Structure 1
Amino acid sequence: MSEIKKVVLAYSGGLDTSVIIPWLKEHYDNCEVIAVCGNVGQDDELDDLKQRAVASGASKLYVEDLTDEFVNEFVIPTMQAGADYEGYLLGTSLARPILAKRVVEIAKAEGADAVCHGSTGKGNDQVRFELAIMHFAPEMKIITPWREWDIQSRNEEIDYAEAHHIPLKINRETNYSKDKNLWHLSHEGLDLEDPGNEPQYEKEGFLEMSVSPLKAPDTPTYVELDFEKGVPVKLNGKAMKSSDIISKLNEIGGCNGIGLYDVVENRLVGMKSRGVYETPGGTILYRAHEILETLTLDKKTAHKKKELSICFGELVYDGQWFSPLRKALSAFVTETQQTVTGKVRLKLYKGNIINSGVWSPYSLYSEDIVTFNEGEGYQQSDATGFIRLLGLPTRIQASVNARNRREAEKC
Structure 2
Amino acid sequence: MQNSEFFGRRVGIALSGGLSSLAVGARLLEDGHDVVGLAGYLGQCEPAEFDSFVDTVRASGMPVRTVDLTPAMATAALDLIAFDGHYDGGYWNTTGLSREVIVAGLADEFHDAKCEVLAHGCVGGGNDQRRFERNGARYLPDIPVFAPWTDPEMRAKMPDRAAMAEYLDRRGLVPMPGNTAEHSIEGNLAGVSHEDASLEDLRTTPRALPRQLGVAPEEAPDSITTLTIGIERARPVELDGRRLPPAELLRQANLIAGRCGLGLVDVFENRVNGTKCRGVYEAPGMQLLSSAVRTAYETVTDRAADELRRTLSRVVGVSVYEATTGSLAARAARAGLEEMARLVNAVIELEIYKGAVIGRAIKDVDHAAQVVHQRRFAGTGHNWASGPLTVSSAAWNGS
Q: TM-score range by the shorter chain?
A: 0.7 to 0.9
1:282 to partner: Cα distance: 0.4
1:296 to partner: Cα distance: 0.9
Q: Does 1:196 align with 2:200?
A: no
8 Å contact from structure 1 (residues 100, 133) kept in 2: yes
**What aligned pairs does 1:156-175 form with structure 2 within 5 A after superposition?**
156-169=163-176, 175=182
Question: Against the structure 1 CA distance between its residues 102 and 243, is the aligned structure 2 distance closer, same or farther, given a 3 Å change threshold?
Answer: closer
Distance in structure 2 (CA, Å) of the matches to 1:376 and 1:291: 23
- Deviations 1:20-48 (CA, angstroms, capped at 9, x unpaired): 12221244xx1221111112222425141
Match of 1:402 in 2: none
1:176 to partner: Cα distance: 1.4
Among 124, 134, 138, which residue is 1:135 paired with? 138
Among 181, 184, 190, which residue is 1:183 paired with? 190
**What aligned pairs does 1:139-154 form with structure 2 within 5 A after superposition?**
139-148=142-151, 149-150=154-155, 151-154=158-161
Match of 1:20 in 2: 24
- Deviations 1:89-139 (CA, angstroms, capped at 9, x unpaired): 110111111211233322222211211111111321111111111112321
Distance in structure 1 (CA, Å) of the matches to 2:225 and 2:372: 27
**What aligned pairs does 1:6-85 form with structure 2 within 5 A after superposition?**
6-27=10-31, 30-44=32-46, 45-58=49-62, 60-72=63-75, 74-85=76-87
1:309 to partner: Cα distance: 1.4
8 Å contact from structure 2 (residues 227, 351) kept in 1: yes
Which structure 1 segments of 5+ residues have no match?
380-411
Q: Does 1:332 align with 2:331?
A: no
Distance in structure 1 (CA, Å) of the matches to 2:57 and 2:207: 32
Match of 1:408 in 2: none
- Deviations 1:27-78 (CA, angstroms, capped at 9, x unpaired): 4xx12211111122224251412222124441x2122112112222x22222
Give the TM-score of the pair, scaled to structure 1. Answer: 0.85
8 Å contact from structure 1 (residues 84, 313) kept in 2: yes
Which stretch of structure 1 is more off in the superposition, 89-98 or 140-149? 140-149
Question: Against the structure 1 CA distance between its residues 169 and 306, is the aligned structure 2 distance closer, same or farther, given a 3 Å change threshold?
Answer: closer
Among 363, 366, 381, which residue is 1:361 paired with? 366
1:367 to partner: Cα distance: 4.5
Which stretch of structure 1 is more off in the superposition, 192-201 or 344-353? 192-201
What secondary structure, in the 3-state scheme, does the structure 2 residue paired with 1:366 have? Answer: strand
Match of 2:381 in 1: 373
8 Å contact from structure 1 (residues 132, 319) kept in 2: yes
Match of 1:106 in 2: 109
8 Å contact from structure 2 (residues 312, 337) kept in 1: no
- Deviations 1:313-334 (CA, angstroms, capped at 9, x unpaired): 1111001122232122111111
Distance in structure 2 (CA, Å) of the matches to 1:227 and 1:46: 32
Which structure 2 segments of 5+ residues have no match?
388-399
Question: Against the structure 1 CA distance between its residues 217 and 262, is the aligned structure 2 distance closer, same or farther, given a 3 Å change threshold?
Answer: same
The letter for the 2-side match of 1:348 is I
- Deviations 1:191-246 (CA, angstroms, capped at 9, x unpaired): 11111112253x6xx21101010111111100100111112121111111222221
Distance in structure 1 (CA, Å) of the matches to 2:386 and 2:334: 36
8 Å contact from structure 2 (residues 264, 281) kept in 1: yes
The letter for the 2-side match of 1:19 is A
Distance in structure 2 (CA, Å) of the matches to 1:372 and 1:308: 39
Which stretch of structure 1 is more off in the superposition, 225-234 or 321-330? 321-330
The letter for the 1-side match of 2:110 is A
8 Å contact from structure 2 (residues 254, 285) kept in 1: yes
Distance in structure 2 (CA, Å) of the matches to 1:356 and 1:172: 38
1:378 to partner: Cα distance: 5.8
What secondary structure, in the 3-state scheme, does the structure 1 residue paired with 2:66 have? Answer: strand
Question: Against the structure 1 CA distance between its residues 217 and 372, is the aligned structure 2 distance closer, same or farther, given a 3 Å change threshold?
Answer: farther
User: Which structure has the bigger radius of gyration?
Assistant: 1
8 Å contact from structure 2 (residues 37, 64) kept in 1: yes
The number of residue pairs the alignment matches comes to 372
Distance in structure 1 (CA, Å) of the matches to 2:279 and 2:164: 21
Question: Against the structure 1 CA distance between its residues 81 and 171, is the aligned structure 2 distance closer, same or farther, given a 3 Å change threshold?
Answer: closer
